[in-house]
Amino acid sequence: MAMISVHTSPLDQPGTGDAGGLNVYVVETAKRLGRMGIEVEIFTRRTSAALAETVQLAPGVLVRHIDAGPYEGLAKNDLPGQLCAFAAGVMRHVAHSPEGHYDLVHSHYWLSGQVGWLAADRWDVPLVHTMHTMARVKNASLADGDRPEPGGREIGEEQVVRAASLLVANTPREAHELVELYDADPALVEIVSPGVDLAKFTPGDKAAARAATCLPADAQVVLFVGRIQPLKAPDVLLRAVARLLEREPERREKLVVAVLGGPSGTGLERPRGLQQLARELGIADVVQFVPPVDREELVQWYRAADLLAVPSYSESFGLVALESEACGTPVVAANVGGLPDAVGSAGRLVDGHEPDDWATAVARLLDDRTGREELSHKAIEHAAAFGWDATSNQLLDVYQHACRTKVDGVVAELHLPNFADLPTAPIP
């Protein structure tokens, strides 16, 4: 199968630039599909001359870099102008492959959907598409001062919805939004929940985690993990912390707020804006800014925290909430998008983004040790139902469904191995 991820590479470090949950989704599902005997080739845009044309991500999984536009300095909003070049690069590569080399295309995000639409049509195979985020959903809940998604993206998304053989939604709410906002055929929308690496994100010793992250053993630690941009609302958390310290100045002595991530999207216009806000609010002494880290270190940050704050204005799912819960750390999250599904009963949901409301929610959970311990047990149990193996198995069902659909009068079949004979070695 061909996976297409135009605007962000599965090799990129999540948490900065355009790399985030989509990258994790592509990497984790591709690895498992490869282990199941599906040959996966991921097409993404080359962003450095140093990148090899082809990189093996895992057994059975290749990343193919396509030249489309300058390697550096090209913003995501400029990429629509490079879709023709990207598609041409994909077609040139496939010209050297035997006819019928691909059985299916799975595109991620609307830019990839545009390329996937052409590729699937040219190769006469089904197109499965996952939106990950949608312009009309984001524009309905913009942060103050943030720019709306352009009309061209809305049109592009509509086109992909019409072209796709099947659409994959993360949650029932996203499926409803596809139908209501984009007139998708309900019969062509499949719900497949994203997952979490349950072998990597596990509970652990909090004292050891705090030593590993250089956090005080007796601190009250609030963690934010994500890209630094208005959509993710880290500023809401900082304003809430300022209100909390106004109410309870004595809390300053032990409170630590760790903001882990790098600037992205419109946040790139003021890459130090959040640090400046912390100074203006008078809380710079309690806020630590941490650049994106690899997953081994990220696990330690989750374990070290008393709670994870996810104040986003819009989330199709919210993988960081699930990762935190898998580590046994409860979540305080905005009651938006897919976050209620990701959080379940293992955290607290906050309606709206008023700093006073967030200050109250954070303080209540910090001060309720028994409640946090109860939520920790629930968090581990909740996350256990969302492994990437389950996600990948459900995707296989979607692919089979798509390949049984008649394409121009021909019924395609996706030839899968005997799953009873599959190896059981852990995913690297």
315 labelled as ligand-binding? Answer: yes
Q: What is the DSSP letter of 263?
A: B
13 labelled as ligand-binding? Answer: yes
21 labelled as ligand-binding? Answer: yes
In the chain the first and final C-alpha atoms are separated, in Å, by 21
Nearest residue to 90 via CA among 30, 2, 157, 1: 2
96 labelled as ligand-binding? Answer: no
Spatial neighbors of 164 by CB under 8 A, at least 6 apart, are 113, 117, 127, 128, 129, 188
278 labelled as ligand-binding? Answer: no
393 labelled as ligand-binding? Answer: no
Structural element, H or E, at residue 63: strand 61-66
Backbone angles phi, psi at 144, to 5 degrees: -55, 130
Nearest residue to 376 via CA among 332, 323, 331, 333: 331
293 labelled as ligand-binding? Answer: yes
413 labelled as ligand-binding? Answer: no
77 labelled as ligand-binding? Answer: no
Q: Which residues of 313-331 are buried (b: 16+ CB within 10 A; e: fewer)?
A: bbbbbbbbbbbbbbbbbbb
227 labelled as ligand-binding? Answer: yes
202 labelled as ligand-binding? Answer: no
92 labelled as ligand-binding? Answer: no
Spatial neighbors of 223 by CB under 8 A, at least 6 apart, are 257, 258, 260, 301, 302, 304, 305, 307, 308, 309, 324, 329
23 labelled as ligand-binding? Answer: yes
232 labelled as ligand-binding? Answer: yes
Backbone angles phi, psi at 182, to 5 degrees: -125, 5
20 labelled as ligand-binding? Answer: yes
18 labelled as ligand-binding? Answer: yes
173 labelled as ligand-binding? Answer: no
64 labelled as ligand-binding? Answer: no
305 labelled as ligand-binding? Answer: yes
Binding-site residue set for UDP-N-acetyl-alpha-D-glucosamine: 13-14, 21, 227, 232, 293, 315, 323
Binding residue positions: 7, 13-14, 18-23, 76, 109, 133, 153, 227, 232, 293, 302-303, 305, 315, 323, 329
Binding region for 1D-myo-inositol 3-phosphate: 7, 18-23, 76, 109, 133, 153
Residue ranges of the annotated binding site for Mg(2+) are 302-303, 305, 329
